[in-house]
Amino acid sequence: MVPKSGKNLNIPSPRHRPGEEPEFDNLDIPNAGTVSRPDIMTDPKQMFDYANTVIRVLDMKNNALGEWDPKLSPDDMRKGLYDMLTTRIYDDRMQNMQRVGKMSFYMKSTGEEAVSVAQAMALDKKDMLFPSYRQQGLLISRGRDLLDMMNHCLSNSKDNCKGRQLPIMYTWRDGNLFSISGNLGTQFCQAVGWAVASAYKGEDAIAATWVGEGTTATSDFHHGMTFAAVYNAPVLLNVVNNQWAISSFQGFAGGEKATFASRAMGYGMPGLRVDGNDFLAVYAVTKWAADRARNGGGPTLIEHFTYRASAHSTSDDPSKYRPEDEYEVWPLGDPIERLKNYLIEIGEWSEERHKAAMEEINAMVIKKYKEAESFGTLNSGSRPEISSMFDDVFKEQPDNLRRQRQQLGV
């Protein structure tokens, strides 16, 4: 067969492949502080521009600029920094433990910590979270014990998912965090349903949900958008555009034709496009959308413009499909470094304190991990009771499952 070259057919291709020198000269990124902040109840028809720019607060010289600056207290910013650091160190430790066979699978959120940590801080604890699989910062920011997260990932005797879920598919009812599915996008319209129920009951709580840019191609994404718009659901619909869906760059989700935030326009809802590596901008945009939803303004679509610094998961090698150093030249930098440098710039942090914080977190993570291992791992030590695998299929165990459990001899 001769390769085809039909001139009217477009197969998207990323700018760089392995071995090529990466650059992002094509990106049109405005200076920090230059985008205005509209009133929270602004008519979406007046908001098209916000979906086609990048809302930024922190510039690359450690200044917080413009109307979107949330003016957070130094304590809040230090909490954000600490939680982002914890997320990164936790991810690194867990990935290493996966590499030595302690668990079946892992997914890091390196480079995207600001999205989950800043958003969790901007939302109320009563707000319900429907994440995808790369927002572990939500749990950390809301104060879930790392031991519980590790117990889940190790599928050990203390795993609250009872050994039924892949690592990182957390469930945390006490923290108002929904069960993570693993099938992409299914939670998007479920979050809308949760929000509709909250509005039906006259309650103040809102919902928030996350998908990657690749998942905007699914029907679930459009169901969520349509239902949210139709019922004016108090929900934040987040698209984490980290440029890569395993090996498929964002062009395969249509990102070269229009921004993901601009999808909102066709549904009559605001779309905000934010620098996802800018903790302060993510916080400000989330607060804007949450205030709007709580005020009866309905849903907002937020595109977090960021970069997936690590592999998709422990099952793929990104050097097979993109330049290994692509993240190094990402023009919006690293979220932890940027917030750290800003805090140092305003005299509220220092290299010494940063180093000490890292050491403290490292020691805490190692200690927690040792404790978690004492409750077993997937391959050694204690697991949940085998008989429990027949529980929770239904609220009450039907006869056929009772008989199958007996057949297994447990």
Partner 1 sequence: MAKMNMVQAINSAQDVMLERDDSVVIFGEDVGYFGGVFNCTEGLQKKYGEQRVFDTPIAEGGIIALAIGMGVNEMRPVAEIQFSDYIYPAFDQIVSEASRLRYRSGGEYWAPITIRTPCGGGIRGGQTHSQSPEGIFTHVSGVKSIMPSNPYDAKGLLISAIEDDDPTLFFEPKRLYNGPFFGDPKQASQGWDKHEKGEVPEGYYTVPIGKANTVRMGHDLTIITYGTMVHVSLAAAELSDYDVEVIDLRTLIPLDIDHIAESVCRTGRCIVVHEATKTGGFGAEILSQIQEECFWKLEAPIGRVAGWDIPYPHAFEWEYFPGQGRVLDAIKKVMEG
* Minimum CB distance to partner 1, residue 76 (Å): 29
Phi, psi of 271 (to 5 degrees): -120, 125
Q: Which is nearer to partner 1, 72 or 168 (CB)?
A: 168
Cα distance between residue 180 and residue 231, in whole Å = 24
- The token duo for 67 is 């109307």
Q: Which is nearer to partner 1, 55 or 129 (CB)?
A: 129
* Minimum CB distance to partner 1, residue 150 (Å): 16
* Minimum CB distance to partner 1, residue 188 (Å): 8
Cα distance between residue 79 and residue 75, in whole Å = 6
Q: Quick one: which of 107, 21, 24 has its CA closest to 322?
A: 21
* Minimum CB distance to partner 1, residue 373 (Å): 20
Q: Which is nearer to partner 1, 14 or 163 (CB)?
A: 163
Count how many Cα atoms sit within 13 Å of the Cα of residue 264 in the half-sphere of its side chain: 30
How do 235-241 and 207-212 pair as beta strands? parallel
* Minimum CB distance to partner 1, residue 402 (Å): 11
Cβ–Cβ under 8 Å, residues 261 and 271: yes
Q: Quick one: which of 337, 339, 254, 343 has its CA closest to 303?
A: 254
Residue that is written with structure tokens 């069960």 in the block: 179
Cα distance between residue 368 and residue 364, in whole Å = 6
Q: Which is nearer to partner 1, 380 or 400 (CB)?
A: 400
Across the strands, what pairs with 271?
301
Q: Which is nearer to partner 1, 207 or 282 (CB)?
A: 207
* Minimum CB distance to partner 1, residue 229 (Å): 9
Cα distance between residue 307 and residue 78, in whole Å = 23
Q: Which is nearer to partner 1, 166 or 302 (CB)?
A: 166
Cα distance between residue 11 and residue 29, in whole Å = 26
DSSP reduced 3-state for 325: coil
Cα distance between residue 194 and residue 333, in whole Å = 35
* Minimum CB distance to partner 1, residue 222 (Å): 8
* Minimum CB distance to partner 1, residue 242 (Å): 24
Angle (CA) 308-314-315 rounded to 5° is 105
Q: Quick one: which of 326, 246, 329, 333 has its CA closest to 18?
A: 326
Q: Which is nearer to partner 1, 192 or 264 (CB)?
A: 192
Q: Which is nearer to partner 1, 106 or 172 (CB)?
A: 172
* Minimum CB distance to partner 1, residue 391 (Å): 7
* Minimum CB distance to partner 1, residue 236 (Å): 14
Q: Which is nearer to partner 1, 140 or 233 (CB)?
A: 233
Angle (CA) 251-238-266 rounded to 5° is 70
* Minimum CB distance to partner 1, residue 147 (Å): 16
Expressed in percent and rounded to 5, the helix, strand and coil fractions of the chain are 45, 10, 50
Cβ–Cβ under 8 Å, residues 335 and 277: yes
For the chain, the first-to-last Cα distance in angstroms comes to: 58
- The token duo for 98 is 């996966």
Residues binding partner 1 (CB under 8 A): 128, 130, 159-162, 164-165, 169, 171-173, 178-179, 181, 183, 186, 188-198, 200-201, 207, 219-220, 222-224, 226-227, 230, 391-395, 398-400
Q: Which is nearer to partner 1, 89 or 205 (CB)?
A: 205
Q: Which is nearer to partner 1, 150 or 207 (CB)?
A: 207
